[in-house]
Structure 1
Amino acid sequence: MLDKKRIRLMAKMSAYEKKHAKEDLRISSYYKKDYASLNTLITVLWITVGYAILAGLYALCNLNTLLENLTITKLLLMIAIAVGIYLILVIIYCVFAGNFYKGKYNKAKQRMKKYYRDLARLGKMEMKEKK
Structure 2
Amino acid sequence: MIDPKKVRLMTKLAVYEEGPGKKDLRINGYSKRTYVNIKQLESVIAITAAYILAMVLYCFGIYTDIMSRGLSFPYQKYIVHAVILYVIIVVLDIVCIRRYYTRVYEKMRVDIKQYEHNLYRLGRYIQKEKDRE
Task: Give your verdict on TM over 0.5.
Answer: yes
Tell me which residue corresponds to 1:65.
65
Q: Is the 8 A contact 2:51 2:86 kept in 1?
A: yes
Tell me the distance in 2 between the aligned counterparts of 1:107 and 1:127.
Answer: 30
The correspondence of residues 1-131 of structure 1 with structure 2, limited to 5 A, is 1-69=1-69, 74-130=74-130, 131=132
Count of aligned pairs between the two proteins: 131
SS of the equivalent of 1:2 reads coil
Distance 1:72 1:97, change over 3 A: farther
Q: Please report how far the alpha carbon of residue 33 of structure 1 lies from its aligned counterpart in structure 2 after TM superposition.
A: 0.8
Q: Is the 8 A contact 2:13 2:118 kept in 1?
A: yes
Q: Is the 8 A contact 2:66 2:73 kept in 1?
A: no
Tell me the distance in 2 between the aligned counterparts of 1:67 and 1:89.
Answer: 29
Gaps of 5+ in 1: none
1:63-85 Cα distance to aligned partner (Å, 9 max, x none):
01234345567211111111111
RMSD: 1.7
Tell me the distance in 2 between the aligned counterparts of 1:26 and 1:72.
Answer: 55
Q: Please report how far the alpha carbon of residue 61 of structure 1 lies from its aligned counterpart in structure 2 after TM superposition.
A: 2.3
Gaps of 5+ in 2: none
Tell me the distance in 2 between the aligned counterparts of 1:7 and 1:72.
Answer: 78
Tell me whether 99-108 or 9-18 shows the greater mean CA deviation: 99-108
SS of the equivalent of 2:55 reads helix
Structure-2-length-normalised TM-score:
0.88
Structure-1-length-normalised TM-score:
0.90
Letter in 1 for 2:56: G
Instruction: State the percentage of identical aligned residues.
Output: 33
